[in-house]
């Protein structure tokens, strides 16, 4: 029996059609996610990672449009799905955690009401009383006092609000949870707790997780496989261990070098020179070439294809020839 992947994305492309021009936010993105697997999406702002997360839910905001590609969730091609069927997937089969906990809850709605509304939208048979009970249980698992079910979002701290968000995302036992920078707006200690909470819940319910972050260290710690995004394209795609041990793309190398290591007392912090490209007018050829220490003539002219430098290690860079050997 061939194990069918939970999520299958093939050649995804997303454009933002702004008044001043078209931004190719995502181009040629393909990958698969197995049940229970964790995938990390790493990259700077504007790399397209958030857009990728939203595309999986078909929630790319105006003026974004999915211009190409097929997304399959549990064998269902969601691209042509009618809106009401898509809605039954959102929140139930796929959960989403937003970045800023301060603005992702409805300020005029009690948090209990958030849960009740969610549960009763997807399971209309459930009575309000029952839904409320379930909400209280979820809150307990999140480490929040169930009596606070009648409180409003502004009465909670940032960390607690993010817990509530997580609770809402997993409330209906989805197969996949997408967490978009879940800890960026929180302080470091709270970050750890939130990520641990996410991990334990994930294990209990057997959910797959896509963790989106610009913080590579978090992703390396907690993800089975990692995609490094740059300027809307996949730069590198491999397991976490492999990425740490032997990164292939110059961008990944740069990212790893810029992570501060507490054990190296005289480490020089390096940053990747230059800045991310203007997405309205990206450079010709490989989008990374202006910042690449290994840039070659061909890099400026053609976009490198995504090739398997090794089995299970894809990279988009002309440094790697047909057989995967690195050109020096």
Q: By the criterion CB under 8 A, which residues form the site for another protein?
A: 16, 18-19, 54, 57, 59, 61-63, 83, 87-92, 95-96, 98-100, 103-109, 117-118, 121-122, 152, 154, 165, 168
- Find the helix or strand (DSSP H, E) in which 68 lies: strand 64-73
Nearer CB in complex with another protein: 107/293: 107
Nearer CB in complex with another protein: 56/243: 56
Nearer CB in complex with another protein: 105/228: 105
Q: How many residues does the chain have?
A: 328
Percentages of the chain per state (helix, strand, coil), in multiples of 5: 35, 25, 40
Q: In whole angstroms, what is the distance from residue 86 CA to residue 57 CA?
A: 8
Nearer CB in complex with another protein: 150/267: 150
Minimum distance from residue 18 beta carbon to another protein (Å): 6
What would the two tokens of residue 244 be? 């740490």
Pairing of strands 64-73, 7-18: antiparallel
Minimum distance from residue 177 beta carbon to another protein (Å): 11
Minimum distance from residue 163 beta carbon to another protein (Å): 14
Minimum distance from residue 248 beta carbon to another protein (Å): 34
Minimum distance from residue 103 beta carbon to another protein (Å): 4
Q: In whole angstroms, what is the distance from residue 73 CA to residue 104 CA?
A: 25
Q: Beta-carbon neighbour count of residue 326 at 10 Å?
A: 12
Minimum distance from residue 35 beta carbon to another protein (Å): 21
The CA-atom distances, in angstroms, between 195 and each of 74, 93, 175, 238 are 26, 21, 18, 22
Minimum distance from residue 135 beta carbon to another protein (Å): 13
Nearer CB in complex with another protein: 185/226: 185
If DSSP codes are grouped into helix, strand and coil, which group holds residue 322? Answer: coil
If DSSP codes are grouped into helix, strand and coil, which group holds residue 69? Answer: strand
Nearer CB in complex with another protein: 168/234: 168
Nearer CB in complex with another protein: 94/220: 94
Q: What is the largest CA-CA distance in the chain?
A: 67
The set of residues, in sequence order, having a beta carbon less than 8 Å from that of 157 and lying 6+ positions away, is none
């Amino acid at each position: 029996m061939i194990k069918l992947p939970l999520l299958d994305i093939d050649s995804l492309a997303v454009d933002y059609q702004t008044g001043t021009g078209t931004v190719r936010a995502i181009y040629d993105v393909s990958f698969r996610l197995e049940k229970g697997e964790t995938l990390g999406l790493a990259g700077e702002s504007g790399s397209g990672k958030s857009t990728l997360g939203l595309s999986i839910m078909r929630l790319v905001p105006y003026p974004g449009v999915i211009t190409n590609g097929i997304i399959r969730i549990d064998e269902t091609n969601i691209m042509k799905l009618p809106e009401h069927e898509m809605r039954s997937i959102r929140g139930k089969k796929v959960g989403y955690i937003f970045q800023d906990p301060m603005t992702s809850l409805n300020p005029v709605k009690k948090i209990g009401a958030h849960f009740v509304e969610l549960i009763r939208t997807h399971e209309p048979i459930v009575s309000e009383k029952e839904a409320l009970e379930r909400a209280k249980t979820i809150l307990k698992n999140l480490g929040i006092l169930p009596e606070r079910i009648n409180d409003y979002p502004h009465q909670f701290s940032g960390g607690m609000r993010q817990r509530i968000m997580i609770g809402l995302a997993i409330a209906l036992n989805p197969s996949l949870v997408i967490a978009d920078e879940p800890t960026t707006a929180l302080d470091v200690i709270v970050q750890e707790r939130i990520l641990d909470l996410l991990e334990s819940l994930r294990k209990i319910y057997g959910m797959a997780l896509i963790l989106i972050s610009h913080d590579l260290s978090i992703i390396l710690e907690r993800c089975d496989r990692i995609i490094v995004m740059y300027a809307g394209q996949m730069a590198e795609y491999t397991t976490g261990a492999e990425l740490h041990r032997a990164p292939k793309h110059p961008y990944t190398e740069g990212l790893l070098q810029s992570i501060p290591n507490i054990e190296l007392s005289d480490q020089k912090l390096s940053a990747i020179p230059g800045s991310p490209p203007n997405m309205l007018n990206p450079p010709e050829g490989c989008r990374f070439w202006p910042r690449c220490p290994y840039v070659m003539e061909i890099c400026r002219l053609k976009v490198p294809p995504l090739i398997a430098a090794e089995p299970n290690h894809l990279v988009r860079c002309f440094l790697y020839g047909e057989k995967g050997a690195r050109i020096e």
